[in-house]
Amino acid sequence: MPDTEKDIVLEITDVHKSFGDLEVLKGISAKVGRGEVVAVIGPSGGGKSTLLRCATTLERVDSGRIVIGGDVLCENGSYCDKKLEKEIRSKFGLVFQNFNLFPHFSVKRNITEALIHVHKKSREEADDICKHLLEKMDLVEKADAYPCNLSGGQQQRVSIARALATNPEIIFFDEPTSALDPELTKGVLTVIKELAKEKMTMVIVTHEMSFARDVADRIVFMDGGVIVEEGSAYDLVTNPRQERTKAFLAGY
């Protein structure tokens, strides 16, 4: 476990978020240390995805504080300036449930476009990074293919490569296997396990309970807009303390 502030990659403090009258996040606080893998589990509508979207700047929180990689994204609900926000965005990657690859770009361009046009890397440099990542994802021969010609599992691995390309400090996964057939989830989960071995900092919203138990260091159980229980992955799955956690896990 990290003990100095410097090793905290993501820090969320008392975050509240409402959509109209519906309060979706009712004061969430959490910390993720460097190299840690945290799985977020819980029933649908419990606020998991909203939390992830708030942490990745896709939703604005109403109040609370979010710090990513030492930069304060928001404090008491008011956000930093656009320039810093852009900088913060380069510190994390996000893998979507339904991939959201750019269909008109080849696999290679999906991965290199932001490197070249946002991070101002040379094309050669970007191509190198891309090649290296595709090797890791076992997709080297697909570099020039278009997303529509790939299986769901392959598309998701491309989107993981895209998220990794900018060398982020933390990667968020929003139910990365929920849109995939069971047989296709395996390749994606294997890739995430590999990343965990390399000490990549990750936050994974998932319904794959055995995967969460095996790959995560910690599990956070969310329901009704609050964190009901959190603890080491193995303990939480095998020996939950809260009734709500027990009821939820009994369903798996």
Partner 1 sequence: MQALQSTLIQLVQGLKFTIGIFFFTLIFSIPLGLLVSKGRMSKIRIVSVIFQLYISILRGTPLMLQLLLVYFGPYYIFGVNLGSIQIGPFNYRFIATIIAFTLNYAAYFAEIFRGGIQSMSKGQYEAATVLGFSRMQTYFKIILPQVVKRVLPSVSNEIITLVKDTSLAQVLSVTEMFTKASAAASAQVSVIPFIVAGAFYYAMNLIVETILNRVEKSMSYYS
Query: Applying CB under 8 A, which residues contact partner 1?
Result: 56-58, 86, 89-90, 92-94, 96, 98, 100-104, 113-114, 117-119, 146-148, 162, 166
Q: How far is the CB of 104 from partner 1 (least distance, A)?
A: 5
Sheet holding 218-223, edge to edge: 92-95, 170-174, 201-205, 37-41, 218-223, 226-232
Q: How far is the CB of 207 from partner 1 (least distance, A)?
A: 19
**Closer CB to partner 1, residue 63 or residue 90?**
90
Q: How far is the CB of 28 from partner 1 (least distance, A)?
A: 20
**Closer CB to partner 1, residue 92 or residue 221?**
92
CB-CB contact of 18 with 217 (8 Å): no
Q: Which residue has the tokens 């504080």?
A: 65
**Closer CB to partner 1, residue 137 or residue 228?**
137
E strand or H helix that includes residue 202: strand 201-205
**Closer CB to partner 1, residue 115 or residue 236?**
115
Structure tokens that stand for 135 in this block: 């090797």
Sheet holding 71-75, edge to edge: 22-33, 8-19, 63-68, 71-75, 78-79
Q: How far is the CB of 86 from partner 1 (least distance, A)?
A: 6
**Closer CB to partner 1, residue 166 or residue 245?**
166
Query: Three-class SS of residue 31?
Result: strand
Cα distances from 79 to residues 15, 51, 58, 98, in angstroms, run 13, 16, 13, 28
**Closer CB to partner 1, residue 22 or residue 148?**
148
Q: How far is the CB of 166 from partner 1 (least distance, A)?
A: 8
Residues in the chain: 252
CB-CB contact of 95 with 176 (8 Å): yes
DSSP 50: H
Q: How far is the CB of 192 from partner 1 (least distance, A)?
A: 18
Q: How far apart are CA 83 and CA 141, in angstroms?
A: 37
Q: How far apart are CA 221 and CA 243, in angstroms?
A: 12
Q: How far is the CB of 148 from partner 1 (least distance, A)?
A: 5
**Closer CB to partner 1, residue 148 or residue 250?**
148
Q: How far apart are CA 240 and CA 202, in angstroms?
A: 23
